[in-house]
Copies of this chain bind each other. A is one copy, B any other.
Amino acid sequence: VMVFFLLNAYASLISNMDMEDRVSHLEQRLQLQEDEIQLLKAALADALRRLGYCEENAAVVNERNLSADLSGSNWKKL
């Protein structure tokens, strides 16, 4: 019994050490991913802000072109 008991305790110890390593490795990788996701969120928020300026600018340019067209055609009519 003592030999089986020691073998079992030893196997259990090895198994727990292996599991401990894998879980520690998972915890590290998950932390790295959390950092990458935070960077992605910040970069995307910055891109959306810049995109907002682009859209605003495009709306202004389109409005100017529209009024330029209207004044241009009025001018041609005169």
- Chain A residues proximal to chain B, CB less than 8 Å: 1-2, 4-5, 8-9, 12, 15-16, 19-20, 22-23, 26-27, 29-30, 33-34, 36-37, 40-41, 43-44, 47-48, 50-51, 53-55, 57-58, 61-62, 64-65
How many copies, total?
3
Closest chain B CB from A75 CB (angstroms)? 11
The 9 closest A-B pairs by CB, nearest first: A57-B58, A8-B9, A54-B54, A15-B16, A22-B23, A36-B37, A26-B26, A12-B12, A50-B51
Check if B62 sits within 8 Å of A65, measured CB to CB.
Answer: no
Q: Collect the chain B residues with CB atoms within 8 Å of residue A19's CB.
A: 16, 19-20, 23
Q: Are B51 and A62 in contact (CB under 8 A)?
A: no
A12 to B5 CA separation, bound complex (whole angstroms): 13
